[in-house]
Structures are given as C-alpha cells and as structure tokens.
Amino acid sequence: MDKEELIARLDESMKLQMVINLTAMIEDHDLDIGDLFDASFHKKKEIAFRAAWMLEYIMSNKPVSFSEYVGRLLELLPTQKNPSAMRHYAKIVSLMTDRKANQIYQDIAKQTDFEPVIEVLFIWLVDPETLVATKVHCMQALANLVPQYDWIKEDLMETIDYLMGVESIAFFARAKMVKKQLKKGAGK
C-alpha cells in the first residue's frame, strides 16, 4: 500500500469499527512503517491518531518488523504535538521498556540512550495540557527506566506527589501503582 492510499484509508470514517478496520489494514497489507510515522504527524488529527494507534499495534504484535524503527520513534517523540498520537508514542515507550517486553525490545533498550526521551516524558508528564492517558504512560515509562537511570526515581516520586494533588482519579490510581513499584526498588 503506498503512502497516498494509506492516508486515504486512514481518513475514512471508521466509527465503531476502527480497531477491526485498522487491524485488518495491518494484517492484509504490507504497510510501510515509515509511512505510518509520517501519517502520525498528519494535519488531520484523526489520521494522525489512527496512524499512531497502528504503530502501537505493530510494536506490540510484530516486534521484528517494528524493532528497526525504535530509533525513529525516539527521534520523533519530542516533535509529536498531536495529543492523541502523543498517547500512543508514550505508550510504545512504556511497553518497550517494561521488564516483560519482548526480548527484542529489552536488547534494544540496553543499548539505547534514553536521556533525550526522559526529558520529553517529564515535560509531557507535568504539562497541564497533556492528556491524562499520556501522562500515565509517561509516568510508567519513566518508572521502567529507573534501573538504567537511577536518578529518575527521586524526581519521579516528587513529580507524582505533586501531580496527585492536581490530577484526576484515573491518574491517581496509576500513580499509586507506580509509587509502589518505585518503593520496591524494582523500577519495573
């Protein structure tokens, strides 16, 4: 499927069938993951969201295919401004840094300099305009990175304590889990 056809398909109204339609596109076509990254920055927010969702799906379900694009994801992360796409980008980082991540991602994570990403995750975490779902994934990704970057722990604990006083119940529930994880010292 070429880039123009991809954009056209992502622009179609999907309503309740979004997951089925996007999953079918991934499974039935040889998609260019690079084109999906480009589409995740599309000016139409629905196209960007759907492309980012597809990236997350591919990351989770086709690690061999996605693994060569991890560097691109980390490079593009700071430039992502679409709130819905930011959620998926942060979730991908959270999933690939999880201690139960596919071995491919664990190996990549050991060799990756996450310093620039950590800064972005903290910025998104404290930004009042960032969606709660994105903040939750940022918080989890940061906690997952504590074993590699022990300095994150104290900063993240302080940030969580502050945000628990201003964020929603949805944030509060995950914050409690992350704080418990950090206190155990496991980091993940």
- Pick the residue with more confidence: 169 or 24? 169
Given this model, what pLDDT does residue 187 score? 42
pLDDT attached to residue 8? 82
pLDDT tens digits, one per residue of 83-136: 999 999 999 999 999 999 999 999 999 999 999 999 999 999 999 999 999 999
How far apart, in whole angstroms, are the C-alpha atoms of residue 67 and residue 79? 20
Predicted confidence at residue 14, as pLDDT, reads 66
Name every residue whose Cβ is closer than 8 Å to that of residue 58 and which is 6 or more positions away in sequence: 26, 31, 33, 36, 65, 66
User: Which positions ≥6 away from 170 have C-beta within 8 Å?
Assistant: 132, 133, 136
Q: Give the separation between CA 163 and CA 173, rounded to whole angstroms.
A: 12
Per the model's pLDDT, the better-predicted residue between 6 and 81 turns out to be 81
Mean pLDDT for 8-35 is 76
Residue 155 and residue 178: Cα distance in Å, rounded?
13
Nearest to 125 by CA among 153, 82, 90, 88: 90
C-alpha atoms less than 13 angstroms from C-alpha of 40 in its C-beta half-sphere: 26
| Contact partners, residue 12, CB within 8 Å, separation at least 6 | 21
Report, as an integer, the average pLDDT of 17-32. 75
Over 90: is that where the pLDDT of 184 sits? no
The pLDDT score that the predictor gives to residue 85 is: 97
Rounded-to-integer distance, Cα 137 and Cα 143, Å: 10
Residue 63 — very low, low, confident or very high, per pLDDT cuts 50/70/90? very high
Task: Supply the pLDDT for residue 16.
Answer: 59
Domains of the chain: 3-185 (1.25.10.10)
Return d(Cα 147, Cα 53) in angstroms, integer: 28
Q: What is the dihedral of CA 178, 183, 187, 188, to 10 degrees?
A: -50
Query: Using one digit for the tens of pLDDT, what is the confidence trace for 148-177?
Result: 999 999 999 999 999 998 898 889 989 999
CB atoms within 10 A of CB 105: 21
pTM for the model stands at: 0.90
The residue that leads in pLDDT, 84 or 10, is: 84
